[in-house]
A and B are shown apart, each in its own frame.
Chain A
Amino acid sequence: MNITIHRIYLWAGALLLVTFLCSCTATASDVDESGLPPHLSVNLKLPEQLEADIPSIFSVEVTKSGKPLEDADQAEFVIWSEDDDSSTVTIHAEESSPGIYSVTYSISEEGLYVVQSRIRSANEQVMPAKRFALGTQAIERLAFLESAQHSGATLPADGGHH
């Protein structure tokens, strides 16, 4: 009699322990092929050919888990010259097709520029940036910067001068 009661207690105890442990496990959400939970991805597209004073399209495609991120709360492009921090322009971007936000903009002076897209949706945001060069001198500088950045040396982030 006593032994049966003991056994019941033992099993109940073990069951309780397992339930307890299961309810206290680490929070793990679904992960993608890189082993990461859902996150934003971007594709920033700058015009391959750009001429002074001719409007060109700058766009960014934002996706989350492969689906376009539509109706972002905030979408803008920030463009500034590497030589002049005060040259910063901020342009509101339109959603030209689902998940693709773009602006049309023209540059009048030759030089090295940075263009950054800033997209925010709910609690998430992305702000990828690329450099682009207009004119021979600027292109040479760009080539130099690119090779320095990708030569394996760790460079401190130098994108933000604003």
Chain B
Amino acid sequence: MMSALPDEELNKKQPDSKSRASVGMRQAIYQSVWRWHFYAGIIFAPFLIILAFSGSVYLFKPQIEGYLYKDMLTLREVGTTKMTPESIIEKTIKAYPDTAVSSITLEDNPKSSYKVSASRNGSSTIMYINPYTGNVLGMMNSDKTFTAFFKKMHSELVIGGTLANRLVELAACWAIIMLLTGLFLWWPRNKAAIWGTVLPRLSKPGSRLFWRDLHAVPAFWISLVLLNIIAGGLPWSGILGVQIDKLANSTNTNTPPFAYSFGAKPESVTVAKDIAEDLPWAAENLPVPASAVGGYIPISINDIVAIADQNDVLKPYTITMPMEETGVFTVSTAHDKPGKNATLHMDQYSGAVLTDVRFSDYGIMAKAISYGITFHEGKLFGFTNQLLGLIACIGLILVAVSSYVMWRKRKPDGKLGAPAKPKSSKVTIGVLIIMLVCGALMPLVGLSILVVLVLDLFILRRIKSLRHWFSV
């Protein structure tokens, strides 16, 4: 067990020469790790503050939108019987011509409106519909909702585009490195140090020790949650996410094919002949026969609902319409928790279920990724999950702010105030190798380290004032 011994007592131990060398080594390693931690922090803390802020708002999307768009999302009065999806869509198109419906989400909650995604005059809109009356309660451009702004800030720093998205990934990956290096720096050097590790020393407000503890102690407490949150978000990322997907594929632990409503879909292939039937007399001057047979016609959405019910797909789920002649109907669940995930693709002309992928069919990596994403979004275990996410976000901002104050207090004039380079070049190179290994695991990190190394070698070292400023 830990006991709170004062620091001085432990420092009394006189080290012999052998252990003095290892203390020197340890200090050099500490110094080197601190340097990495410092530079990473100075560059990426601003991005991480943006991510933490936007994330903490977006976490509460259900509550925020539930309040803001209450009239569209929730029904004031519950009717007796719901209309069929087919007639709801028919009525909607009649009331709003020039509407092409792309999907409809059927809710199980009797007080929830149905969501219809549609394209109206070229722009994509979500229409909220009372399932009992078929009346449209309201429409919203899904890119322009209140929380969509924060989502864009969280994934593309508001400016948008690939570069911003890569920056977010870079910051997230460096955050992992900062957490790991930070944990190393935080690691209790003696068994007794409760204060300064798990409890902050706040007796002298404003002192460096005060700010140091306000940095390291909360960072330790949120580290595990934050690592999980970042790990849960990485499968979305543009570079590392693709690598993760490849790894899952090569270990055969990904989802089976056609597991999602987005991405690749199968084609409607179950009708024996071409979908279109030849009608030669329609095109040429041939005598019109007494009767004629048309080609296959898409089955009705009500039939799709019946097939989904028969296959035990639980509401809420979304039916996505076929986008082209060879397209399929897709039924995918919209549950918060991954356990009930189901995605079925159905032939649009025969209703044959082409693929039916449930959560239990996922490989272990795909399962872990699904849980990770759900945790990241704060949906895995309700309000507690959201609260944990919020604490991590606020904690991260506090940690960034306290580190800034700590640095300003230490920073000498005319210098960046970075921790000095350790004297042992062995240690510098050793830590660099560990960093490069991290860089190999996270490609953008690797790339950024290489860029910094090149800058260091060709610019920083050659300009005296810069060398002095960066304490190279």
Q: Which residues of A contact B (CB under 8 A)?
A: 21, 24-28, 34-37, 39-44, 46-51, 61, 114, 116, 123-136, 139, 142-143, 145-147, 149-150, 152, 154-161
Contacts and interface: CB of A to CB of B under 8 A. Distances in A.
Contacts of A42: 270-272, 350, 352
A35 B266 contact: yes
B291 A134 contact: yes
Nearest to A56: B291
Given A50-B291, A124-B353, A129 B297 contact: yes
A26 B270 contact: no
B252 interface: yes
Task: Give the interface centre of B282, B352, B366 by most chain A CB atoms within 10 Å.
Answer: B352
B122 interface: no
Task: Give the interface centre of B266, B275, B294 by most chain A CB atoms within 10 Å.
Answer: B294
Contacts of B279: 142-143, 146
Given A125-B310, A150-B325, A132 B293 contact: yes
A109 to B, nearest CB: 12
B291 A49 contact: yes
Contacts of B256: 26-28
A44 B277 contact: no
A13 to B, nearest CB: 17
Contacts of A149: 295, 297
A160 B302 contact: yes
B354 A21 contact: no
B231 to A, nearest CB: 18
A134 B290 contact: yes
Interface in B268-322: 269-273, 275-277, 279, 281-282, 288-303, 307, 310-311, 321-322
B272 A36 contact: no
Interface of B: 86, 89-90, 93, 100-101, 251-257, 266-267, 269-273, 275-277, 279, 281-282, 288-303, 307, 310-311, 321-325, 347-355, 360-364, 366
Contacts of B300: 157-161
For the complex of A and B, 3 pairs with smallest distance between CB atoms = A160-B300, A24-B364, A43-B272
Q: Report whether over half of chain B's contact residues are helix, strand or loop; otherwise say mixed.
A: loop
A158 B294 CA distance: 14
B34 to A, nearest CB: 33
Contacts of B288: 136, 139
B273 A43 contact: yes
Contacts of B273: 43
B361 A124 contact: no
Nearest to A150: B276
Contacts of A26: 252-256, 361-363, 366
Given A21-B253, A130-B293, A160 B276 contact: no
Nearest to B259: A26
Given A26-B361, A128-B296, A160-B86, 8 more contacts: A42-B272, A43-B271, A128-B350, A131-B293, A135-B291, A149-B297, A159-B300, A160-B302
A155 B89 CA distance: 12
B270 A41 contact: yes
Contacts of B310: 123, 125
A162 B266 CA distance: 28
A36 B360 CA distance: 18
A156 to B, nearest CB: 6
Contact of B289 (A36, A44, A49): A49
B321 A157 contact: yes
Contacts of A41: 269-272, 350, 352
A34 B269 contact: yes
Contact of B266 (A36, A51, A152): A36
Nearest to A64: B352
Given A26-B366, A49-B291, A51-B291, A114 B297 contact: yes
22 contacts: A26-B253, A26-B366, A35-B257, A39-B347, A41-B270, A41-B350, A41-B352, A48-B293, A124-B352, A125-B351, A126-B347, A130-B296, A133-B293, A134-B290, A139-B288, A139-B289, A145-B294, A146-B279, A149-B295, A149-B297, A156-B89, A159-B298
Contacts of A142: 279, 292, 294
Contacts of A123: 310-311
Contacts of A139: 281, 288-289, 291-292
A25 B266 contact: no
A36 B297 contact: no
Contacts of A40: 270, 350, 352
B290 A50 contact: yes
Nearest to A24: B364
A39 B349 CA distance: 14
A132 B291 CA distance: 7
Nearest to B297: A159
B174 to A, nearest CB: 29
Contact of A160 (B253, B275, B299): B299
A25 B253 contact: yes
Contacts of B350: 40-42, 126-128
Contacts of B255: 26
A14 to B, nearest CB: 14
Contacts of B271: 41-44, 128
Nearest to A128: B350
Contacts of B253: 21, 24-26
